[in-house]
Chains A and B, each alone.
Chain A
């Protein structure tokens, strides 16, 4: 007899889903109680790290005129995650592009907004080219001091945890679910799979096509992170009639049109997978293949063509996604 809890709710402008197996440790709460606990954690995570909430810790940091600001542990961790992603990507996943996002029209939450047509946006988009880091970006001037409990940055430099927040949140929840036989933490598509049960019988994780919304196929994931970046959800029309989306080229401060509309990455954590998928999408197909090859991934070209890379090329099942066949022992 085995049981699994399937628990979903809305938070951080996305749907959050938890799949939790049986508890391995007697002292651990039942899965439903654990899910309720994690829901509270995720809701608080979103409230405190949203740049759209005036009362959030992140807004307090962004609007504080002092160069050094007291910051609680969760905010410091989120800032560290953003800096980690920037370093990992050589500055391509830049957490200090808040003003550029606002200039392009992303000054408020798009949670309830209907996305513009990606196909129309692609037809109107400029010549495709790879994005590049901004050598004058200030993210390297941001520092975190855990001993003093502060974050230092040049006044006026605003920080956005939106690019890495969901991955970080998924990783944090996964750590808290270590006492269960198997689990999936899905923070708006940034997914962590864990538990010894998942190693014995991997989850089949489906990958959604950014143009059609249908499943491309599924791959077995026994542990670690998987994330997708794409242009299809946070895309809007500007007042001048042009299109914009939230993945900016740091070198120009404008939306990146690289020839890719989606990228999926596998990695050791959701934070790393999120970072790799963004890098792949921002750099275009040639570099995406290089970046995704070691741990596996998938890119979707402007014309909708799907290109699996690395282990995904070998393991992608294009059948209707179902659970993997049972493992037979003995």
Chain B
């Protein structure tokens, strides 16, 4: 009984390894016939600027805008400050 079980297990393993070897051979064959590819890595850096008006509009009250930039740099959403005759 014990010998039969060992035989079955060995046979199963042999079948599995044979199938694996066949698949590996097919894969090597396909790779050998495929054209060489250049690998291009595209890096896209997305910058998000959110300009949110928090409050304002009341007579005499302040106008407030909050700008948030995901770039880590300075926020460019706001209009440039301007020097002028006062």
Contact = CB atoms under 8 A, between A and B. Distances in A.
B68 to A, nearest CB: 5
A191 B77 CA distance: 19
Contact of B83 (A2, A4, A197, A264): A264
Contact of B81 (A9, A17, A210): A17
Nearest to A13: B86
B78 A206 contact: no
A304 interface: no
A206 B74 contact: no
A228 B62 contact: no
Given A4-B74, A7-B64, A9-B62, A189 B69 contact: no
A74 B68 CA distance: 36
Nearest to A210: B85
Interface SS, B side: loop
Given A3-B66, A5-B64, A8-B62, A182 B82 contact: no
B35 interface: no
Contacts of B79: 6
Contact of B64 (A1, A6, A203): A6
A76 interface: no
A231 B85 contact: yes
Contacts of B61: 9
B37 to A, nearest CB: 31
B86 A233 contact: yes
A323 B67 contact: no
A233 B85 contact: yes
Contacts of A189: 82-86
19 contacts: A1-B68, A2-B75, A3-B66, A6-B66, A7-B65, A9-B63, A10-B60, A17-B81, A32-B54, A35-B64, A182-B74, A186-B82, A188-B86, A189-B82, A189-B84, A189-B85, A190-B86, A191-B81, A206-B81
Interface of A: 1-10, 14, 17, 19, 21, 32, 35-36, 39, 166, 182, 184, 186-191, 193, 197, 201, 203-208, 210, 215, 218, 226-234, 262, 264, 321-323, 326-327
